[in-house]
Amino acid sequence: MSKCIVRAISNQKGGVGKTTVCQNLGAGLARQGQKVLLIDFDVQSNLTQSMGCQMPDELPFTVADIMKQIIEDEPIDPLRGIIHHREGIDLLPSSIELSGIENSLVHDMNRERILKSYINQLRRNYDSILIDCMPSLGMLTINALTAADRVIVPVQAHFLSVKGLELLLRTVNKVKKQLNPDLNVEGILLNMLDRRSNFTKEIVQLIREPFGSNLKVFDSEIPMSVRAIEASAEGSSIFDFDPDGKVAEAFNQLVKEVLKNERQRQENKTIHLR
Ligand code: ATP
Ligand code: MG
């Protein structure tokens, strides 16, 4: 069985497309035959809603309950609360209760590793686990980065703040040094691009040049399209909602790129071992 890879989709900037990327990358990987779990790790529960669950606060069991059980050192059933979506993806939903968990983590001895201890119990059940992070660098995001093998950073070209990106990358490095040596930035993903605008072109270049030299910027770019918004309102991925559109095509490219990079990493590792 292939090794499970855990990815955090993170950027402390709000509205850059983290949730949309999480849902569509997950759906794309599932279409390639992977067993995929999405974890909604945001108190806003947007991913839970985009997966068709309209009332997250009425769910009987969510990621907040799992976190609570681990904090209280109770035994957990790692599969409890997981919802099976009709597109063949699993989801661990979130609810507003997660905001209370963030506060209680402050006093916990193992506060950065709560999510990791949950995810480690699930790794053998999945090929890919994607964590949809909230727009902050608080304790929940630190938990996600501590649990993850890789980080994908969606950025939106027009509202890009390079300073914000630097802060995120510094946080990732700090987590790597102090909490999770396995963590790596898989790539920056240019999202919601309007290629017709000259301004966008300039910013894309601005990101690709300085960051591209020491960090990967995905070749795949996700275009701006109202179809992406409509799909999540319908509780569907873009592959289900508009399979022939340009957003589905872009996510297909991204899935291929992610899988190709993974194969290359595995090959390099094998060569190394020989
Ligand atoms: P938050 O920081 O609040 O969690 P986010 O980074 O998760 O936000 P999303 O919720 O995925 O961002 O996206 C923000 C908005 O942009 C949503 O309304 C979403 O439907 C829309 N959106 C996402 N991707 C695209 C796209 N490719 N084209 C147009 N709109 C998009
Ligand atoms: Mg979100």
Note whether 101 and 67 are within 8 A (CB): yes
Residue 255 has pLDDT above 90, yes or no: yes
Closest CA to 215 of 189, 194, 195: 189
Phi, psi at 243, each rounded to 5°: -60, -25
Q: What residues are in contact with ligand 1 under a 6 Å CB criterion? A: 14-20, 42, 44, 46, 135, 192, 222, 224-225, 228-229, 232, 247
pLDDT band at 274 (very low <50, low <70, confident <90, very high): low
Phi, psi at 152, each rounded to 5°: -110, 130
The sheet with strand 128-133 has its strands ordered as: 83-84, 90-92, 36-41, 128-133, 5-9, 150-156, 184-191
pTM here?
Answer: 0.96
pLDDT band at 251 (very low <50, low <70, confident <90, very high): very high
| DSSP-derived 3-state class of residue 68 | helix
Lowest average pLDDT, out of 1-10, 38-47, 148-157, 220-229, goes to 1-10
Closest CA to 239 of 89, 66, 134: 89
pLDDT digits (tens, 9 = 90+) for 97-155: 999 998 888 888 889 999 999 999 999 999 999 999 999 999 999 999 999 999 999 99
Phi, psi at 149, each rounded to 5°: -95, -30
Closest CA to 171 of 39, 22, 10, 19: 10
Give me the domains of the chain, ranges plus CATH numbers. 5-273 (3.40.50.300)
Q: According to the model, what pLDDT value does residue 273 have?
A: 66
Distance from the alpha carbon of residue 132 to the mean position of ligand 2, in angstroms? 7
Nearest residue by C-alpha to atom 19 in ligand 1: 229
Cβ count within 10 A of residue 54: 8
pLDDT digits (tens, 9 = 90+) for 224-240: 999 999 999 999 999 99
Note whether 97 and 140 are within 8 A (CB): no
- Ligand 1: which of 50, 140, 161, 229 to mutate, most ligand atoms within 8 Å of CB? 229
Parallel, antiparallel, or unpaired for β 128-133 and 90-92?
Answer: unpaired
| DSSP-derived 3-state class of residue 204 | helix
Lowest average pLDDT, out of 67-81, 151-165, 215-229, goes to 151-165
